[in-house]
A and B are shown apart, each in its own frame.
Chain A
Amino acid sequence: MKRREFLQKILSLPYNEALTSPTVSLDSWYPTNNNPWDVSAINHLYHRLGFSATNGEIDDALQTSPQTIIEAMMDDHLVTDGMPEPPFGWQEWLIVPPYLGTDYHILDHEGDLYHNAKIDTCRQWAVMMTQPQIQLREKLTLFWHNHFVVEDGKIWYTQIVFHHFDYLRKNVWGNFKQMVKDITISPAMLIYLSGIWSEKDALNENYGRELMELFTMGRIDRYGNENYTQDDVRHVASAVTGWRFKFDAPSPNVLPPYFANYYFDFDTKTNPFGAPEKIYGLDTARIYALTSDSLEKIEADIIELIFEKRSEQIAWFICKKIYRAFVYDDATTPEAEQVIEQLAQILLDHGWELKPVFLTLFQSQHFFDLNFRGSAIKSPYEYMCGLMRRLDIDLTDYQAGDFMWYGFDTDQVLGSPPNVKGWQGYHSWLNSATLPKRNIDFARELIINKAIPGRLINPHNGFTYDPIPFTDDAVIQWAKQFPDYNGELNLFATQIATFLCAIIPDDASILHIVSSSGILHTYEWASLSDSLKVQPIRQMLFTAIQLPHFQLC
C-alpha cells in the first residue's frame, strides 16, 4: 500500500469535532465526514466484536461496509457448523471417576489427566479466538461463559465443562429464555450450583438464588425495588429440584440430565412472585423423568413464570449486561439508559431472541459513536489473542498451552472465573500486579526476547516450553505492510501506533517510540537494510505496546 493511501485510512481521526454526548440512536450507522469508515472505526468493530483486526482485515474492511462485516460475523451457519471437536485424548478423560464431593479429589495419574484435559480445552479455545470469521462467536461465548458462570475446579469432569462451552457456543445469539431453561438442567450447572444435591427434604437454595440474582433479573430492578423475596428463592429452588445427570454416558457429547421424581415435592403448592398457588416445576421434567409418577401434578413451568412475572426486569438486566460488555462499562448515564431501554424493548418484542438485539446494537450509530473508541479495557485474552492477530502470528494448539499460564498470571483462566458472578472486568483487569505481567512477561518475551535460543521453563509447573515464534523474517514481513517501512521513521512509528492503538497516541508518545529504536540519525532509516531494521522495529513495537493506549480497546 502506498503511503498516501495509508494516510487516507487514518486521515480523519476521532475527536475532530467539539465534544458532544453520545448519540442515543440505534439506527444503522453510516459513515459521515466527521465519523468516517476509517482505521479507527474498523479497529473499534474488531476490538469489540472480535479479538483485534489484522492489517489485512483492515484493508479488506475498507472495501466493504460495517453492516456487511457484522452480518457475516453473525451468519447462522457459524453456530451450526464448524463446532470444535472435543480435544485430543477425550476418551481418556472418562477414566476420571465421579467423586461424591464438591471437589475433584483425584490421584496423581488422574490428576494429570484432568489437568491436561483442562489445558486442552483452554488452548483449543485460545486458538479459536485468533481465527477469522468466528471471532464474534467466540467473543460471545466468552460473554456467556461470564454470565452463566461455572468454575471447572468444582466440576470433576472436564468433558462436562466442554459440554457447557459447546452449548454456549451453539446458542450465542439464540433465545435467552430457552438458554435459561437449558442451563437450569445442564450437568455443569447442576453440579456447580448444587442442583444434584437438592431434594424436597433438603432443599438447596444455591441455584434458585443465583438464577434470579445473577442469570436473569438481578436482586433489584432499575428503580431499586427488590425483584424477589427469600420466599421466592425457596419456591424457585423447590421447583427446580430433583434433577440429576448420568455419569456413565457412552458419548462425551451426550450427558443427559434426568428428572428423579422421588426427589421432587409433588404435594406442596407455592405462589412465587404472588402467582396463583400451584405445583411449579419444569416442563422438561416430562421429557427427562425417570418414571411417569406424579408428573401430571406439575401444573406450570417455573422459568415461564419468571419470564412472565419479571419480563421487564429481565430484559433490562440482560441488556444492561450486554451494553456494559460491548459498549461501555458505565451504563448509568442517561444516554446509556435510553439505549438499554430500547434494547430491552427489542428483546421483549422478539420473544427473547437475542440476535435482533445484538445485530441492532452492533450496527448502530450509538455503537460507532466516537466517544466510545478505546473506552474498554482489554481482558487478558483480548490482549494475548489480539496481539497474535495484530502481529500476524499463527497461534498453534501447542503454543496456546502457555496462554493458560499467562492468563493465570493476569487473572483470567478460561473455565475458572473467580466466583459465580464472573470476572469483574473493566478496571479490575489492570493493576500494579497484572500490567507488568502483560507487558514484561508476555509482550517482551514475544517481541524482544525472541533472540534468546533454547527452551524456556514455565515457573508454574516446571515444564519446558518453546516460545511463540516471532522470527526476524516475520518481523520484517509484518513491518513491510506499513508504507514508511522504507520511508520516514517518525511516520513509520505513527503508522504502527495508529494500527495498534484504539486511541491514537499523542506526538510525545510517537517521539518516545522513535527514540526507543536506538537510531540516532533518523534520516538513515530509509537506507537501512532489513537485517539492520529488525532490532529497531522490535524495540519500537515493544514501546508502542507498552503505551497505556494499547491496553484500551
Chain B
Amino acid sequence: MKRRDFLKTIPLGAAVAGIPFVFGNSRASALFDFPMQKMLQPLQNTNDNILVMIYLEGGNDGLNTVVPFEDSLYDSYRPTIGFTTPDEKKSLIFRPRPELGMNPQMNALQPLWQENKLAILQNVGNSNPDLSHFRSSDIWNSASDPKLNVPTGWAARYLETLYPNYPQIAPEDPLAISIGYYQSAAFFGSRGLVNIRIDDPRTYLANATQHNNAVPATEGGAELAFMRNLISLSNIYAARFNNLFPKFAVNTVTYPDNPLAQDLQKVAWCIAAGLKTKVYYVHLKGFDTHNGQFSKDATVNGHAKLLKYVADAMYAFQRDLEGLKVDDRVLTMTYSEFGRRVSGLGDRSSGTDHGTAAPQFLLGSNVAGNVYGKTPDLQHLDANGNLIYEFEFRQMYSAILQDWLGVDADTTAALLNPDSTSKKFESLFPVNGTSITQSLFHAPLGAVPETNSIANGSSFVISPNPCKDETTVRFILHESANISLTLYDVQGRLVSEIINTNFEAGEQKIKVIVSKFPAGSYYFKLQTGNDVKTGKFISL
C-alpha cells in the first residue's frame, strides 16, 4: 500500500483555519508516529558485539589487492597494471600464502596478520553477477537472492528484529550510525532508514523544537511527517551525544591523515564513549579504476593510494580499539560491489573494467585470522572474462550475523533470504565450491551482559569455540526455569539430547563432551518455555 493510500483511509480530523488535517490513527501511526523520549528502551536481545562496515565504492580490484603473483596467467592478463616483473613480485613481502602477495601499500596490515587478527575471504561474489555498479551494490546491500529485487537492506532487517517498532520505539542509542555523506541501502528498513548520520559526534546538533501535530492528507503531508520524524529522532540523539561529549575525542593512537582513517577515528570515539550502537558504516570512494589505476604508485591518485588509505586506516583503528580496550567487541569488515575484470585494459588505459568476485577482509581481535578459500582461478573464467565466485556474499553475512551478532540460524536464514520461499538454513546457500566450515571468530558471541538472561530471551555463550573434546554452554538465569539443551548438525538433524531439567537462578554452566561426535559444525538449541535460542560451534 502506498503512503497516500494509508492516508486516504483516515477520516479527516479537525479543521485548522479551514484546512482539514489528519491526526494519526493506528494505521497511519505505523508510518508517521514520532519517537518520544519515554519510548526509548535499552538495546536488548543481543550481545554487545559491534560491526563496522567499510564500503569501498566503485568496485575494488581484488586481483591487485591480494595478488596471485605466482600464476603465470596473472602476468599475461595484466602486463601493464600487474605485479609482473621480478622486482615487482619481490616487492610483495606480505604473503598470507606462499602464492599470494598483498599489495605493498597494505603492508600496514602485516602485524595484524601476524597476530591472527585478519581474515581474508577469497572470491566473494554471487551466482547472478551484474556488471552495473548500482545493481551490484543493491545486491550486496539488500542481501537477497541475487535474482530478486528487494527494497530493504540486510542490516536494516537485522536491526528491525531488535526493534520491531522502530522508530516509534527506539533504542536510547542509535541502532546504526553512518559517518559521512553516503547513505547505504543496507539501512533501508521497512519503515524508513534505521541509521542516523553524523559528520562528527562532537558537533552533533539538535534541531529546533517542533510540534508533532497533524499533517495534511496529501503527498506533501507524507513528506511533512517524514521531516517531523527526522527532527524528533535527531533531537533525541543530539541530547544523548551532548551528554557524552566529554567522552569523545579520546584516542590512543594518532590516525593517519586520510579520509577513511578520519571517519574510523570518529567511530572509535563513539564506541569508546559507550554507545550501544550495533552497526557503524564508513565509506571510501574512487575504486572505479577504468583508467589511471596506478596499482603500484601511492604518490598519485589511484588504486595504490586507496589501498594505502584502507590499510593505514584499518591498522590505526584496530590499534586504537586495543588501546581503548574495546577491541574484543568490534569486528571490521570491508565490502565492494564487485572486483574487476581479470584482463587489464592495456597501456593507454592502465585500468580495468567491471568484474565479479573479489577478496574481502574481516579484522578484529576475535577474528580467527586466516585466508579462507582458494587462490583465484584465472584459468576458468566466465563468458565475460570474469572470476567465478567461490563464497556467496551472504555466507560472509551469515557468519557475521550468527557467529558475531548472535542471531540464531533460522532468523539468519530468513534475514538473508527475504521474499524467497525457502528459508530453512540448511538449504540457504547452494555453495559454489567451499563452505565456511570453521568459525571465523574466537569468541563468537561475546560476553552475555549481566542484565540479560535466557528467561528474557538473551543469547548464551559457548566456549571454547572451536573446541576439542569438550565445551561449555554458559548462561544466566534470573529465576529458576526448565531448560532443554539439544545438539543438531548443520543439516538440521538431531544429534543428541544433552539435558532437559530444572535449573536454579544464577549463572549456569553445562559441560558437553563432544569427542564422541565427528568433527564439524554443530548447533546447540537451548529452549526455555517457548523461547528458543541456537548457537553454532565447531568441534575440531
Contacts and interface: CB of A to CB of B under 8 A. Distances in A.
B132 A209 contact: yes
Interface stretch (B223-231, B250-258, B323-331, B496-504): B223-231
Contact of B216 (A15, A202, A333, A376): A15
Nearest to A421: B134
Given A102-B302, A552-B227, A21 B4 contact: yes
Given A206-B353, A420-B133, A431 B197 contact: yes
Contacts, number: 211
A385 B521 CA distance: 61
Nearest to A203: B345
Interface string A416-436: 001111001001101111111
A103 B350 CA distance: 13
B244 to A, nearest CB: 15
A204 B134 contact: no
A164 to B, nearest CB: 19
A204 B210 CA distance: 52
Given A194-B349, A432-B230, A333 B198 contact: no
Contact of A15 (B20, B228, B238, B351): B20
B60 to A, nearest CB: 15
Interface stretch (B284-292, B312-320, B433-441, B461-469): B284-292
B223 A374 contact: yes
B2 A333 contact: yes
A209 B223 CA distance: 34
A504 B227 CA distance: 14
Interface string B124-163: 0000001111110000000000000100000000000000
Interface in A304-335: 328, 330, 332-333
A523 B133 CA distance: 62
Nearest to B291: A197
B205 interface: yes
Contacts of A332: 2
Given A418-B181, A436-B206, A503 B234 contact: no
Interface stretch (B11-19, B110-118, B418-426): B11-19
Nearest to B179: A433
Q: Which of A103, A424, A548 has the most CB of B within 10 A?
A: A548
Interface stretch (A49-57, A249-257, A505-513): A505-513
A508 B205 CA distance: 24
Interface residues of A, number: 74
A201 interface: yes
A211 interface: no
Contacts of B164: none
A512 B12 contact: no
A435 B199 contact: no
B230 A435 contact: yes
A431 B196 contact: yes
Given A201-B346, A374-B223, A506-B16, A15 B217 contact: yes
A219 interface: yes
A523 to B, nearest CB: 21
A205 B233 CA distance: 43
Interface string A192-225: 0110011101111110010001000001000010
A496 interface: no
A333 B222 CA distance: 14
Contacts of B383: 230
Nearest to A11: B18
A551 B220 contact: no
Contact residues on B (Cβ < 8 Å of other chain), bracket: 35 or more
A372 B216 CA distance: 11
B447 to A, nearest CB: 30
Contacts of B132: 209, 213, 219
B483 interface: no
B301 interface: yes
A287 interface: no
Interface in A1-54: 13-16, 18-19, 21-22
B372 interface: no
Nearest to A377: B223
Contacts of A198: 349
Contact of A14 (B3, B216, B222, B226): B216
A546 B197 contact: no
Nearest to B347: A202
A19 B181 contact: no
B213 interface: yes
Contacts of A373: 218, 220
B7 interface: yes
A512 B219 CA distance: 25
B134 A213 contact: yes
A435 B214 contact: no
Given A432-B198, A548-B227, A418 B135 contact: no
Contact of B349 (A193, A202, A330, A551): A202
B207 A439 contact: yes
A188 to B, nearest CB: 15
A339 interface: no
20 contacts: A15-B20, A15-B218, A21-B4, A101-B301, A105-B300, A105-B301, A197-B349, A204-B349, A219-B134, A372-B220, A421-B133, A424-B183, A428-B183, A431-B234, A432-B233, A432-B237, A439-B208, A507-B17, A552-B224, A552-B227
Q: Which 7 A-B pairs have the closest CB atoms?
A: A202-B346, A374-B220, A548-B227, A102-B292, A546-B208, A103-B301, A436-B205
Given A105-B301, A197-B290, A549-B224, 17 more contacts: A22-B219, A105-B300, A197-B345, A202-B345, A206-B290, A209-B131, A209-B132, A330-B3, A332-B2, A424-B183, A432-B237, A433-B197, A503-B220, A506-B21, A547-B210, A548-B224, A548-B227
